[in-house]
Amino acid sequence: MSYRTPLNQRLPPSIFGEAEERYQNDAHFRSFVDMCQHCIESMNLTPSEARQAVMLACIKFEMRRPIDWELGIDGEIRRK
């Protein structure tokens, strides 16, 4: 069974659910998905390679963000 669809056809909601809804209703999310799809196609990436690249980008982003810590009354260090 293949889930490839023409660009103008909605994806099956039972498979993609919230992501498909966001794609339809959130211009920033849609733009990011379309950009990723363009990169995947133009670089001829496999789905696994695309997932690895996006996960690495997310990890690098998280590692660069400053983290605010606080010291609780109980002496525990927590993220704010």
What pLDDT, in 10s, does the model give residues 7-43? 556 656 566 788 888 999 999 999 999 999 999 999 9
What's the rounded mean pLDDT across residues 53-72?
86
CB 78 within 8 A of CB 72: yes
What's the confidence (pLDDT) of residue 27?
Answer: 96
Q: Reply yes or no on whether the pLDDT at 59 is more than 90.
A: yes
Contacts of 53 (CB under 8 A, 6+ apart): 45
| pLDDT at residue 14, rounded to an integer | 61
